[in-house]
Amino acid sequence: MKKIAITVLGMFLIIACNNTTKKAETPKETPKAEKVVTKNYPENLQKVFNAHGGIDTWNASQTLIYEMVKPEATEKHVTDLKSRKARIEGKNFSIGYDGTTVWLAQKDTTAFKGNARFYHNLYFYFYAMPFVLGDDGITYTEAENLLYEGVEYPGYKISYGDNVGDSPEDNYFIYYNPETFHMEWLGYTVTYYNGEPSNKVSYIRYGDWQEVNGILLPKTLTWHKTEDGKVTGERNSVEFTNVSLTNKTMENSMYERPADGVVVPKG
Protein backbone atom coordinates (compact mmCIF):
# COMPACT_ATOMS: atom_id res chain seq x y z
CA MET A 1 0.00 0.00 0.00
CA LYS A 2 1.29 3.35 -0.93
CA LYS A 3 1.17 5.37 2.24
CA ILE A 4 1.42 8.99 2.99
CA ALA A 5 3.79 10.82 5.31
CA ILE A 6 1.53 13.34 6.98
CA THR A 7 3.27 16.60 7.77
CA VAL A 8 2.31 18.68 10.74
CA LEU A 9 2.99 22.11 9.28
CA GLY A 10 1.47 21.68 5.85
CA MET A 11 -1.86 20.03 6.57
CA PHE A 12 -4.10 23.00 7.10
CA LEU A 13 -2.14 25.69 5.28
CA ILE A 14 -2.70 24.48 1.73
CA ILE A 15 -5.48 26.36 0.00
CA ALA A 16 -6.35 26.15 -3.68
CA CYS A 17 -8.96 26.34 -6.43
CA ASN A 18 -9.31 25.31 -10.07
CA ASN A 19 -7.78 28.06 -12.20
CA THR A 20 -5.00 26.19 -14.01
CA THR A 21 -5.17 24.69 -17.44
CA LYS A 22 -6.65 21.22 -17.06
CA LYS A 23 -6.21 18.00 -18.94
CA ALA A 24 -9.33 16.76 -20.67
CA GLU A 25 -11.18 14.38 -18.39
CA THR A 26 -12.06 11.76 -20.97
CA PRO A 27 -13.12 8.59 -19.23
CA LYS A 28 -12.82 5.27 -20.96
CA GLU A 29 -14.30 1.94 -20.12
CA THR A 30 -12.02 -0.38 -18.21
CA PRO A 31 -10.93 -2.92 -20.87
CA LYS A 32 -11.40 -5.95 -18.67
CA ALA A 33 -13.05 -6.33 -15.30
CA GLU A 34 -10.62 -7.41 -12.65
CA LYS A 35 -11.34 -10.48 -10.60
CA VAL A 36 -12.34 -9.42 -7.11
CA VAL A 37 -10.66 -11.47 -4.39
CA THR A 38 -12.13 -11.26 -0.91
CA LYS A 39 -9.52 -11.18 1.86
CA ASN A 40 -9.96 -12.16 5.47
CA TYR A 41 -10.33 -9.20 7.81
CA PRO A 42 -11.18 -8.98 11.52
CA GLU A 43 -14.87 -9.77 11.92
CA ASN A 44 -16.01 -6.34 13.04
CA LEU A 45 -13.84 -4.53 10.49
CA GLN A 46 -15.53 -6.62 7.80
CA LYS A 47 -18.86 -5.42 9.23
CA VAL A 48 -17.63 -1.84 8.91
CA PHE A 49 -16.75 -2.43 5.25
CA ASN A 50 -20.18 -3.98 4.69
CA ALA A 51 -21.96 -1.08 6.38
CA HIS A 52 -20.28 1.28 3.91
CA GLY A 53 -21.26 -0.66 0.80
CA GLY A 54 -18.81 -3.57 0.83
CA ILE A 55 -15.13 -3.78 0.05
CA ASP A 56 -15.80 -5.89 -3.04
CA THR A 57 -17.92 -3.05 -4.45
CA TRP A 58 -15.11 -0.63 -3.65
CA ASN A 59 -12.49 -2.89 -5.25
CA ALA A 60 -14.59 -3.10 -8.42
CA SER A 61 -14.43 0.71 -8.76
CA GLN A 62 -11.71 2.42 -10.78
CA THR A 63 -11.77 6.21 -10.43
CA LEU A 64 -12.65 8.54 -7.55
CA ILE A 65 -13.23 12.26 -8.14
CA TYR A 66 -14.21 14.91 -5.61
CA GLU A 67 -13.90 18.61 -4.91
CA MET A 68 -12.68 19.97 -1.58
CA VAL A 69 -14.34 23.16 -0.42
CA LYS A 70 -12.23 25.48 1.72
CA PRO A 71 -12.94 29.04 2.86
CA GLU A 72 -10.62 30.61 0.32
CA ALA A 73 -10.85 28.14 -2.56
CA THR A 74 -11.85 24.77 -4.01
CA GLU A 75 -9.62 21.95 -5.19
CA LYS A 76 -10.43 19.08 -7.54
CA HIS A 77 -8.88 15.66 -6.85
CA VAL A 78 -8.85 12.70 -9.25
CA THR A 79 -7.44 9.31 -8.19
CA ASP A 80 -7.11 5.99 -10.00
CA LEU A 81 -7.99 3.43 -7.33
CA LYS A 82 -5.88 0.66 -8.85
CA SER A 83 -2.60 2.43 -9.65
CA ARG A 84 -3.17 5.30 -7.18
CA LYS A 85 -2.20 7.74 -9.91
CA ALA A 86 -3.53 11.15 -8.95
CA ARG A 87 -4.08 14.71 -10.08
CA ILE A 88 -5.02 17.80 -8.10
CA GLU A 89 -6.16 21.03 -9.76
CA GLY A 90 -5.79 24.13 -7.64
CA LYS A 91 -5.49 27.88 -7.94
CA ASN A 92 -2.56 28.48 -10.27
CA PHE A 93 -1.07 25.02 -9.65
CA SER A 94 -1.46 21.34 -10.45
CA ILE A 95 -0.04 18.33 -8.63
CA GLY A 96 0.10 14.82 -10.03
CA TYR A 97 1.40 11.32 -9.54
CA ASP A 98 2.00 9.43 -12.79
CA GLY A 99 2.64 6.06 -11.20
CA THR A 100 6.37 6.71 -10.82
CA THR A 101 6.99 10.30 -9.79
CA VAL A 102 5.14 13.16 -8.13
CA TRP A 103 5.19 16.41 -10.09
CA LEU A 104 4.23 20.03 -9.46
CA ALA A 105 3.28 22.68 -12.02
CA GLN A 106 2.55 26.20 -10.82
CA LYS A 107 2.13 29.69 -12.19
CA ASP A 108 4.77 31.04 -9.83
CA THR A 109 6.76 29.78 -6.86
CA THR A 110 4.18 31.06 -4.38
CA ALA A 111 1.12 29.38 -5.90
CA PHE A 112 1.48 26.18 -3.85
CA LYS A 113 2.59 26.39 -0.24
CA GLY A 114 3.58 23.00 1.10
CA ASN A 115 5.22 19.73 0.13
CA ALA A 116 3.59 18.41 -3.03
CA ARG A 117 4.90 14.89 -2.49
CA PHE A 118 3.18 14.62 0.88
CA TYR A 119 0.05 16.42 -0.30
CA HIS A 120 -0.67 14.57 -3.55
CA ASN A 121 -2.59 11.77 -1.80
CA LEU A 122 -3.03 13.17 1.69
CA TYR A 123 -6.76 13.82 1.51
CA PHE A 124 -7.40 10.77 -0.63
CA TYR A 125 -6.40 8.52 2.25
CA PHE A 126 -8.55 10.48 4.68
CA TYR A 127 -11.49 10.55 2.27
CA ALA A 128 -11.35 6.91 1.13
CA MET A 129 -11.65 5.53 4.65
CA PRO A 130 -12.45 2.87 5.70
CA PHE A 131 -11.65 1.08 2.44
CA VAL A 132 -7.97 2.03 2.16
CA LEU A 133 -7.50 0.08 5.38
CA GLY A 134 -8.13 -3.02 3.31
CA ASP A 135 -4.88 -2.56 1.37
CA ASP A 136 -1.99 -5.02 1.51
CA GLY A 137 0.75 -4.95 4.15
CA ILE A 138 -1.51 -4.09 7.09
CA THR A 139 -1.64 -5.58 10.59
CA TYR A 140 -4.86 -5.22 12.61
CA THR A 141 -5.05 -5.25 16.40
CA GLU A 142 -7.93 -4.28 18.67
CA ALA A 143 -7.59 -0.78 20.09
CA GLU A 144 -8.79 0.66 23.37
CA ASN A 145 -12.27 2.15 22.99
CA LEU A 146 -12.50 5.85 22.15
CA LEU A 147 -14.72 7.79 24.57
CA TYR A 148 -16.44 10.94 23.35
CA GLU A 149 -19.41 12.68 24.97
CA GLY A 150 -20.28 9.60 27.00
CA VAL A 151 -20.24 7.19 24.03
CA GLU A 152 -17.63 4.47 23.64
CA TYR A 153 -16.47 3.60 20.14
CA PRO A 154 -14.62 0.28 19.65
CA GLY A 155 -11.87 0.16 17.07
CA TYR A 156 -8.72 -1.27 15.55
CA LYS A 157 -5.13 -0.13 15.41
CA ILE A 158 -3.69 -0.25 11.90
CA SER A 159 0.06 -0.73 11.53
CA TYR A 160 2.30 -1.53 8.58
CA GLY A 161 5.08 -3.92 7.74
CA ASP A 162 8.64 -2.80 7.11
CA ASN A 163 9.22 -1.04 3.80
CA VAL A 164 5.50 -0.48 3.23
CA GLY A 165 5.05 3.06 1.93
CA ASP A 166 7.16 6.12 2.69
CA SER A 167 6.72 5.92 6.48
CA PRO A 168 5.83 2.50 7.88
CA GLU A 169 6.13 3.91 11.40
CA ASP A 170 2.78 5.68 11.00
CA ASN A 171 -0.28 4.20 12.67
CA TYR A 172 -4.00 4.62 12.13
CA PHE A 173 -6.89 3.93 14.48
CA ILE A 174 -10.37 3.30 13.11
CA TYR A 175 -13.35 3.58 15.47
CA TYR A 176 -16.92 2.59 14.61
CA ASN A 177 -20.46 2.84 15.94
CA PRO A 178 -21.12 -0.46 17.76
CA GLU A 179 -24.76 -0.51 16.59
CA THR A 180 -24.58 0.60 12.94
CA PHE A 181 -20.90 -0.30 12.31
CA HIS A 182 -20.51 2.99 10.47
CA MET A 183 -17.05 4.46 10.83
CA GLU A 184 -17.14 7.38 13.28
CA TRP A 185 -13.53 8.34 13.97
CA LEU A 186 -10.05 8.11 12.51
CA GLY A 187 -6.99 8.52 14.68
CA TYR A 188 -3.55 8.87 13.10
CA THR A 189 0.04 9.58 14.02
CA VAL A 190 2.32 11.76 11.93
CA THR A 191 5.84 11.67 10.56
CA TYR A 192 7.81 14.91 10.72
CA TYR A 193 9.98 16.37 7.96
CA ASN A 194 13.08 14.90 9.58
CA GLY A 195 11.58 11.41 9.39
CA GLU A 196 10.98 11.12 13.12
CA PRO A 197 7.60 9.57 13.99
CA SER A 198 5.34 11.06 16.65
CA ASN A 199 3.29 9.27 19.29
CA LYS A 200 0.69 12.05 19.31
CA VAL A 201 -2.63 10.90 17.86
CA SER A 202 -4.82 13.35 15.92
CA TYR A 203 -8.52 12.65 15.40
CA ILE A 204 -11.00 13.17 12.56
CA ARG A 205 -14.74 12.60 12.95
CA TYR A 206 -16.76 11.01 10.15
CA GLY A 207 -20.38 11.77 10.91
CA ASP A 208 -21.96 12.91 7.65
CA TRP A 209 -22.18 10.35 4.84
CA GLN A 210 -23.43 10.31 1.25
CA GLU A 211 -24.06 7.30 -0.97
CA VAL A 212 -22.13 7.36 -4.24
CA ASN A 213 -22.57 4.42 -6.61
CA GLY A 214 -23.38 2.07 -3.75
CA ILE A 215 -20.57 3.26 -1.45
CA LEU A 216 -20.89 5.54 1.58
CA LEU A 217 -18.41 8.41 1.33
CA PRO A 218 -18.09 11.38 3.69
CA LYS A 219 -19.61 14.78 3.03
CA THR A 220 -17.42 16.41 5.65
CA LEU A 221 -14.36 15.60 7.72
CA THR A 222 -14.04 17.33 11.09
CA TRP A 223 -10.76 17.53 12.96
CA HIS A 224 -10.99 17.65 16.75
CA LYS A 225 -8.77 19.04 19.46
CA THR A 226 -7.27 16.83 22.14
CA GLU A 227 -6.42 17.48 25.77
CA ASP A 228 -4.45 15.02 27.89
CA GLY A 229 -4.97 12.39 25.21
CA LYS A 230 -8.77 12.83 25.19
CA VAL A 231 -10.83 14.08 22.25
CA THR A 232 -12.44 17.47 22.89
CA GLY A 233 -14.13 20.10 20.70
CA GLU A 234 -14.05 20.69 16.97
CA ARG A 235 -11.04 22.36 15.37
CA ASN A 236 -11.93 22.67 11.67
CA SER A 237 -13.89 20.92 8.93
CA VAL A 238 -13.46 20.26 5.22
CA GLU A 239 -16.44 19.76 2.91
CA PHE A 240 -16.49 17.49 -0.17
CA THR A 241 -18.78 18.02 -3.16
CA ASN A 242 -19.32 16.79 -6.74
CA VAL A 243 -18.21 13.29 -5.80
CA SER A 244 -17.96 10.60 -8.48
CA LEU A 245 -17.03 6.92 -8.11
CA THR A 246 -16.98 4.92 -11.35
CA ASN A 247 -15.57 1.78 -12.93
CA LYS A 248 -14.10 3.83 -15.78
CA THR A 249 -10.46 4.81 -16.16
CA MET A 250 -9.24 8.24 -17.17
CA GLU A 251 -6.83 8.76 -20.05
CA ASN A 252 -3.18 8.49 -19.01
CA SER A 253 -2.71 12.12 -20.03
CA MET A 254 -4.73 13.08 -16.95
CA TYR A 255 -1.82 12.07 -14.72
CA GLU A 256 1.17 12.82 -16.95
CA ARG A 257 3.59 15.59 -16.04
CA PRO A 258 2.99 18.71 -18.19
CA ALA A 259 5.78 20.62 -19.90
CA ASP A 260 5.99 23.14 -17.07
CA GLY A 261 5.87 20.50 -14.36
CA VAL A 262 8.86 19.58 -12.20
CA VAL A 263 9.51 16.29 -10.43
CA VAL A 264 9.21 16.50 -6.64
CA PRO A 265 12.01 14.48 -5.00
CA LYS A 266 11.64 12.35 -1.90
CA GLY A 267 12.68 13.82 1.40
Would you list the domain boundaries of the chain?
41-264
pLDDT at 192: 56
**Which CATH fold topology does 41-264 show?**
outer membrane lipoprotein receptor (LolB), chain A (2.50.20)
Give burial (CB, 10 Å; 0-12/13-18/19+) of 108. exposed
pLDDT at 234: 97
- CA geometry: angle at 73 spanning 71 and 77, to 5°? 120
How far is the C-alpha of 138 from the C-alpha of 129, rounded, in Å? 14
Query: What is the chain's pLDDT, residue by residue, as a tens digit (267 residues)?
Result: 444 444 433 443 343 334 444 444 555 544 444 444 457 899 999 999 999 999 999 999 999 999 999 877 899 999 999 999 999 999 999 999 999 999 999 999 989 989 999 899 999 999 999 999 998 889 999 999 999 999 999 999 998 765 544 454 678 999 999 999 999 999 998 765 555 667 889 999 998 899 999 999 999 999 999 999 899 999 999 999 999 999 999 999 999 999 999 999 986
Residues 6+ apart with CB under 8 A from 77: 64, 65, 66, 67, 68, 86, 87, 88, 123, 124, 127
pLDDT at 197: 62
